[in-house]
Structure 1
Amino acid sequence: MNFKMQDKQNQLIERISDKHLIVGVDIAQQFHVARAINYRGIIVGDPLTFENSEVGFKSLLSWIQSLQEMKNLNAAIVGMEPTGHYWKNISKWLDEQKIEVVTVNPHLVKRNKENRDNTQSKSDKKDALVIADMVKNGYYSFISPSSESFEMLRVLISNRDVIVKRLVSSANQIHRWVDIVFPELRQVFKDITCKGAIATLRLFPTPAEIASLEPLDVMNGWKSLMQRQPGPKKAQLLIQLAKSSIGTTQALGAYKFHLEQLLEEYDLTIYQLARVEQQIKEELYKIPYVQKLLMIKGISEISLAGILGEAGDLSGFSHGNSLLRHAGLHLAEASSGKWKGQIVVSKRGRSRLRRFLYLATMSLVMNNDEFKALHAHNVKVKKMKKMKSIMKLIGKLARIFVGIAKRNEEYCPSKLKEIIPLAA
């Protein structure tokens, strides 16, 4: 559907004809609830509670068809909240049955729940009716079908996020262990998760074990686990600090056992992260215009995969501003009469897409000459705050991405240089 933003609501409402049965479905883990209305908002039939299974889905389809036959309606549209992951299976099943499925914003469902009965009460049946009313009034969005590659990227990126959280958690616990048992280790290794520090924790984790060793013993231990190991000065410093350590000396057996488990968890997450990132890169290059997007200096494969996994096919967006709206990066303002509120970012969109767009832009500002010059001009000449400049550059990046994807053209740095004033 092509439209200007001011015409969007009208066009969404006009799609609902007097021949439509409008169904709202309240999504849950085990049992869903459906309510139906006509194009005027009049309730049709009784509520239906059905199971989250093929048998339940078939009962929903039979219920829809019987209501259509009873009211002489030949079209149906089903609205639902994209609640977690529970809505995915039913939406795909209905789509296979040639039933149009749309989604409504959960935030708007909460705001519209008093329209019918002017009470703040909440129930599954009421929520389903509120969803149907919202679809009738044009407060819905289409589900953009994504190809196999984009769906794969979305799942893999989500998996990577979980692994990264576990990796950060295990690293933080290793930091805590070191603070309790051997805090002086930080004077030898600035990064506790570097190869030398991890090798030391594997071989001789407690100060008592290190204090009884010679520098050559420490270096031979490092050599058994590392190709490039620290030198004798670090080994000597490690032994000296171990002899005067203030770390705890009680329950060392339990602490050593705890460290073994922490290192096992750390090794597992490192291995899983490498595997999932390899899968992400393999899937990423199956998308035709990816090579052209990666020609932009400063764009990493993981950041681009995160953007494509959350946004889907960029060539399907009419403009870069549509991508920003999808991410919730469009501007919102609250004003009334003489009072004018502050303009803020709406954040009504995909949070993970916002994060990857932000990270990609920050990388460009640090590594890409054109974006670095634009940022410097915004801050020094236009006197923008740094964050405001970054948000403006996110919009520039979104327009570049969508333009390259739609027109299948290569990134042209000269176009950006033309808009950077000489004063920059």
Structure 2
Amino acid sequence: MIIVGIDVASEKHDYFMLHQETGTVFSTSSVTIRNDEEGYKKLHKDIQSFCGATGDSNVHIGLESTGIYHTNIIAFLLSQDYKVMMINPILTNMTRKASRVHSPKNDNLDAQTICKYMIDHSDEFSPYTPSLYHKTALKSLSRKRFFISRELRKAKLAVNNLVQLIFPEFKSLFTNIYGVSAIAILKEYGSPKRIAKAHERKISSLLHGRCKCSASQIIETAKRSVGLKDDFYSFELIDAIEEMEHIQKRIDAYNAQIKMFVDEICPNLLSIPGIGYTNAGLIAGEIGDIDRFHSAESLIAFSGIDPIVHESGKFKAKHLIPSKRGSKYLRNALFQVARIIWQHDPVFAEYYSKKQAEGKHYYVILGHIQKKVARVIYSVLKNNSVYQVRRV
């Protein structure tokens, strides 16, 4: 078998090739190519040349998962029908440190380290597949939505602050100032001064049937408002509302894309209480191929919710904290699910009550539930099964 280790970067890649059985190497040091078509063609030509020289056409290629820099070269290698595996950089770094006391790091040695890792873990080789491509797409979409949702929270806060300055009494009229009716009125008028002069019929046309306040109440409240009268605040409020609506449209577009991928590759996740399309997209995208996790505990470790054990001699730490290694996005999704699932699943509800009776803090209990949720997710994905809510 021919082992190819590729150290990827933004403008160039370094690769090292060797024949596993004989130890024959293509070159004594790593070969550098540019991140362009000519570089890719040279890599392919060299691999084919080495296959001919060794008489072995079985090629395993490994490269580190490094942001976006590996995406293009993986697409090229897959188009040439190569078997490619993405490797967690933490694992190759551990291999590099274990190989020598003083472990230098450079692109030449990194490619060789990847080869060594693949040889030492040959039984763990898991090639990149089209289904992984879809999960990579889901990962990208879900992460982008994650950041856009943060922008939405900031935009809503800006609207809230401006309403507090311009029309503080407005909040008492609506249960949700970001609702359709409240936003329509704020966007139409922008200030209590203009609302006070508005026709009652016009205000009524902007209110839906579930509003607890009437048009006359809104107008009377606007007349007595102690809000600031400066026109530039009204301009800023309308601008902030338009920005908020624009961000919401972006989120809606991402939601549609995420739903399409979830329905195609991981619909079973939706059977777990607390998991909707947003969390399902984050979870499936971050996990990728479930077969790369040999147990539920390894998935827990990947999400960073496993405890850091601190022991030395007779000392044993009483309070353990999560390692917070691995994917923070997966960790966030598990936390959101943990907050909800115990309220809708009898088994989790019983577990929550048990921990509460032991005097555990709310967030400590959620930490335990996160691990149980991770085990359920592992089982659902590993067995391609639907989660069944059990009655206690």
Global fold match (TM > 0.5): yes
Match of 2:157 among 172, 186, 198: 172
Q: Determine helix, strand or coil for the equivalent of 1:49.
A: strand
Q: Determine helix, strand or coil for the equivalent of 1:84.
A: coil
Match of 2:70 among 87, 95, 105: 87
- Is 1:270 the counterpart of 2:248? The answer is yes
Provide closer, same or farther for how the CA distance between residues 270 and 49 of structure 1 changes in structure 2, counting only shifts above 3 A.
same
Which residue in the other structure is 1:58 paired with? 41
Which residue in the other structure is 2:237 paired with? 259
Provide closer, same or farther for how the CA distance between residues 120 and 320 of structure 1 changes in structure 2, counting only shifts above 3 A.
closer
Which residue in the other structure is 2:365 paired with? 389
Tell me how far apart the structure 2 counterparts of residues 278 and 316 of structure 1 sit (CA, whole Å): 28
Per-residue CA distance 1:92-136 (angstroms, 9 max, x = gap)? 432443444333333455566667786686543344344444444
8 Å CA contact 1:199, 1:222 repeated in 2: no
Matched-pair identity in %:
24
Alignment of 1:227-266 (within 5 A): 227-228=208-209, 229=211, 230-231=213-214, 232-241=216-225, 244-245=226-227, 247=228, 249=230, 252-253=231-232, 255-266=233-244
Which residue in the other structure is 1:220 paired with? 201
Provide closer, same or farther for how the CA distance between residues 398 and 144 of structure 1 changes in structure 2, counting only shifts above 3 A.
farther
Tell me how far apart the structure 2 counterparts of residues 100 and 108 of structure 1 sit (CA, whole Å): 20
Shift in Å at residue 365 of structure 1? 1.5
Which residue in the other structure is 1:202 paired with? 187
8 Å CA contact 2:151, 2:247 repeated in 1: yes
Aligned residues: 384
Amino acid in structure 2 at the alignment position of 1:222: I
Shift in Å at residue 137 of structure 1? 4.3
Amino acid in structure 1 at the alignment position of 2:237: L
Per-residue CA distance 1:316-353 (angstroms, 9 max, x = gap)? 86653343344344444344444445654333333222
Q: Determine helix, strand or coil for the equivalent of 2:62.
A: strand
Amino acid in structure 2 at the alignment position of 1:367: H
Provide closer, same or farther for how the CA distance between residues 93 and 328 of structure 1 changes in structure 2, counting only shifts above 3 A.
farther
Alignment of 1:4-23 (within 5 A): 20-21=2-3, 23=4
Q: Determine helix, strand or coil for the equivalent of 1:193.
A: coil
Provide closer, same or farther for how the CA distance between residues 196 and 154 of structure 1 changes in structure 2, counting only shifts above 3 A.
same
Which residue in the other structure is 2:337 paired with? 360
Shift in Å at residue 198 of structure 1? 1.8
Q: Determine helix, strand or coil for the equivalent of 2:30.
A: strand
Tell me how far apart the structure 2 counterparts of residues 55 and 127 of structure 1 sit (CA, whole Å): 22
Per-residue CA distance 1:287-313 (angstroms, 9 max, x = gap)? 5862xx544444433323332333346
TM-score with structure 1 length normalisation?
0.74
Which residue in the other structure is 2:61 paired with? 78
- Is 1:48 the counterpart of 2:24? The answer is no
8 Å CA contact 1:24, 1:80 repeated in 2: yes
Provide closer, same or farther for how the CA distance between residues 168 and 41 of structure 1 changes in structure 2, counting only shifts above 3 A.
farther
Q: Determine helix, strand or coil for the equivalent of 1:86.
A: coil
When structure 1 is superposed on structure 2, of 146-155 and 47-56 the one drifting more is 146-155
- Is 1:349 the counterpart of 2:334? The answer is no
Shift in Å at residue 74 of structure 1? 5.7
Shift in Å at residue 59 of structure 1? 1.0
8 Å CA contact 1:298, 1:368 repeated in 2: no
Provide closer, same or farther for how the CA distance between residues 336 and 24 of structure 1 changes in structure 2, counting only shifts above 3 A.
farther
Match of 1:125 among 66, 86, 108: 108
- RMSD value, Cα: 3.8
Tell me how far apart the structure 2 counterparts of residues 222 and 321 of structure 1 sit (CA, whole Å): 57
Shift in Å at residue 44 of structure 1? 3.4
Q: Determine helix, strand or coil for the equivalent of 1:45.
A: coil
Shift in Å at residue 87 of structure 1? 0.8
Alignment of 1:399-414 (within 5 A): 399-407=375-383, 411-414=387-390
8 Å CA contact 2:193, 2:222 repeated in 1: no
Match of 1:369 among 346, 355, 364: 346
Which residue in the other structure is 1:12 paired with? none
Structure 1 unaligned runs (5+)?
1-18, 418-424
TM-score with structure 2 length normalisation?
0.79
Match of 1:301 among 249, 272, 277: 277
8 Å CA contact 1:146, 1:313 repeated in 2: no
Shift in Å at residue 193 of structure 1? 2.1
Which residue in the other structure is 2:6 paired with? 25
8 Å CA contact 2:304, 2:325 repeated in 1: yes
Tell me how far apart the structure 2 counterparts of residues 376 and 322 of structure 1 sit (CA, whole Å): 27
- Is 1:161 the counterpart of 2:142? The answer is no
Provide closer, same or farther for how the CA distance between residues 149 and 110 of structure 1 changes in structure 2, counting only shifts above 3 A.
closer
